[in-house]
Chains A and B, each alone.
Chain A
Amino acid sequence: MAKVLLIEDDSETATEIMAELIGRGFDVDWAATGIDGLDKARRSGPDVMIVDRLLPGMDGLTIIQALRKDDIRTPVLILSALGAVDERVRGLRTGSNDYLTKPFAIIELVARIEALLRQPADNRDTTLRVGPLELDLLARTAKRGGRSVELLPREFRLLEYMMRRKDQVLTRAMLFEEVWNYKFVPQTNLVDVHMGRLRRKVDKPNEPPMIYNVRGAGFILRAPA
């Protein structure tokens, strides 16, 4: 059971997050102040931390700096009401691993926590495999079973990202930030359209589907049962 440390001063928000995470099988510990949070982070050794950016007593970024100084590399997700792009960049530079702006959909938070817990292994293989799907990173080719899948460069990037994170829910915002590396919120359902393209190439009508749409959340790539 993964241990999550939540450092959040608003008790109502904290209660909701804890209820959701406990419901999903996480072991959650809560600290309402920065000092208490830093203390718990050092003593209990959580697997992942959720840290509010603005906290009474000790600021969220200061906590992360203190932990990194002690060489504690626990993945950290910052929650912040400061949504500015500069703030996000500052947060990531300080040593946090992800940044989520308030208000957020709870499913977005869960997906990002899962992603942090299952950071892709530093895989040196030049071929990625999920079920019958095979991606050759050197030749830039894809195959599903014996069938070759013709991909455009942007589709290749998207599929590579998903294969490295198979069985994980990937939200639209995560894909947009990570695959396209864009920092703005598109007005159109860009990710859905690109995903639709990819899905039509990966999952032919007669094949069991591998790319699933998770309603209200995002997408997931899974080997057929």
Chain B
Amino acid sequence: MSAAPASSSVRLPEFIRTTTFRWTLAASGALAFCILLMFGFVYWQTAAYMTARVDGILVGESDMIASDAPERRLKAIHERLSQDPRRIRLAGLFGADGGRIAGNLEILPSHLPMDAPPQRVSVVRIDGQGREEQTARAVARRLQDGEVLVIGRNVDELPELARIVERALEFGLIPALGLSLVAGALLSLRAQNRVEIVNKKVQRIIAGDLRERLPTQGLNDPFDKLAGIVNGMLDEIEALIRSIAGAGDDIAHDLRTPLTRVRIGLERGRESAQTLPDLQGVVDQAIDRLDQSLAIITALLRIAEIEHSRRLEGFGDVALADVVREVGDLYEPIAEDKRIAFKVTADVEPIVRGDRDLLFEAIANLVDNAVKFSPEDGCVELALTRRGDDCVVRIHDSGPGISASERDLVARRFYRSDNSRHTNGVGLGLSLVNAIVKLHGFRLTISSGPRCVVEIACQALEGRSAAEPASLHGAGVARQIADRR
């Protein structure tokens, strides 16, 4: 029986394996390295400073003693050594043959060059307390009478300094590292908990609960921001799915109704038509109804095309006032035929970023509706004005208007207000306008009331008007995409 290898059974806790924790580890490592570098630098600089200072003193003292008269030298050496309670001063006077004359050095250090700057050497100190080997900084001077003067100083302080630095490191670095690891672990655990909560919510959404949203804690941290973005996306998806589900029923209804009529009409015609003109009448009616069904399919495909293909590639700079005037030109005779007073005004000449054909289609659709629903001798006004930073295309008509309760519904596919049941059309015009306006990141508002006012608020390109040459602005699209969120 042998135990399983330890490594295969050891599994690190989940929070240690998170990226947050790994980043914390990396940051702590980098911090420790920096602290080590800093302390090393402090030690190096301090040691160099102390050594230079000791060397300066040694050179000064040796100069002073060397310049003394030979009979005063012994006294000076003696004085120097006697005022040394810390036992760090070293001095020695040696004869020309190297024999010891005075001082606390047993022998002339062998590697100490004459008349050179102070060096680090190993010396043997002898005094009343015995014989001791020490590391010292020392300088040797050959005197005029051939004797050799050695002045030195014990530098055991330097290793002491290193030990102080080490202790400072121990007291500072280890707790700091520990603290950062704990903080990393806590952050990692917290992130993991939030991921877990989000995961539970997401699982519920996947399971079909489309009303579920990711939790936010009101902290404005990246997690909250991300949750906000995802929630915005979920709102859009929920609305889309609901509209698709609703559209399915609407399509079934609005397509089956004319097709049923076609079928019944054809059946009856086949049975009861007595003459060729009778039969032709039935067939003509059937063709009309088929055309109506086809128009619905065409409009639906068109909306799908606009909503899903996100045709930003067709975007360019559009002189909106020109589009408004062109729509006016197209519908003016139609309004006139209905004796509707049709007024087209453009107070401003803004340039907007968009697809010219689609914007034309949207405005034309709204004017089409306005003319269609206005009674004879009524009035329709198409105006382009500025309001704050936006430019607004406003279509105003004297038709029956839309009640507050119907306002949101009219942009839904196939919705036809009760007032419009007896007017031609497939009930998709406003859905189409809505899709186009959304694609551009503009806003569509329908005001309630006895007179209908529909507005499209567009962002004009900053500081641009139709008088200026048009050039492509990538920022415009980026802003619209951002605004759409």
Interface residues of A (CB under 8 A from B): 83-86, 101, 103, 154, 180, 182-188, 190, 193-194, 196-197
Contact = CB atoms under 8 A, between A and B. Distances in A.
Nearest to B371: A188
Contacts of B429: 187
B329 A184 contact: no
A86 B305 contact: yes
A184 B364 contact: yes
A185 B295 contact: yes
Contacts of A194: 333
Contacts of B294: 103
A188 B334 contact: yes
Contacts of B110: none
B298 A185 contact: yes
B424 A187 contact: yes
6 contacts: A83-B301, A83-B302, A85-B302, A182-B357, A185-B299, A187-B429
Contact of B361 (A103, A184, A197): A184
A83 B329 contact: no
B360 interface: yes
Please list the 6 inter-chain residue pairs (A to B) with the smallest Cβ-Cβ separation, ordered nearest first. Answer: A184-B361, A84-B305, A193-B333, A193-B334, A187-B368, A197-B333
B481 interface: no
Contacts of B426: 187
A194 B335 CA distance: 11
Given A83-B298, A187-B429, A154 B329 contact: yes
A180 B327 CA distance: 11
Contacts of B424: 187
B204 interface: no
Given A182-B361, A185-B295, 8 more contacts: A85-B302, A103-B294, A184-B302, A187-B368, A187-B426, A188-B368, A190-B330, A196-B333
A37 to B, nearest CB: 27
A21 to B, nearest CB: 20
A192 to B, nearest CB: 9
Interface string B319-336: 000000000011101100
Contacts of B360: 182
A187 B292 CA distance: 11
B333 A188 contact: no
Interface string B338-364: 000000000000000000010011001
A86 B309 CA distance: 10
B484 interface: no
Contacts of A193: 333-334, 337
B361 to A, nearest CB: 5
B256 interface: no
A8 to B, nearest CB: 19
A149 to B, nearest CB: 16
A115 B301 CA distance: 28
B290 to A, nearest CB: 8
Nearest to A195: B333
A83 B331 CA distance: 25
Nearest to B365: A187
B78 interface: no
A193 B337 CA distance: 8
Given A154-B329, A182-B357, A183-B357, A190 B334 contact: yes
B287 to A, nearest CB: 8
B371 A84 contact: no
A85 B357 contact: yes
A154 B424 CA distance: 26
A186 B334 CA distance: 12
Nearest to A102: B294
Question: Of residues A180, A184, A196, which shows the largest number of chain B Cβ atoms within 10 Å of its Cβ?
Answer: A184
Contacts of B309: 84, 86
B337 A84 contact: no
Nearest to A153: B329
A103 to B, nearest CB: 6
A83 B297 CA distance: 10
Interface string B425-458: 1100100000000000000000000000000000
A105 B333 CA distance: 27
A103 B295 CA distance: 10
Nearest to B306: A85
B213 interface: no
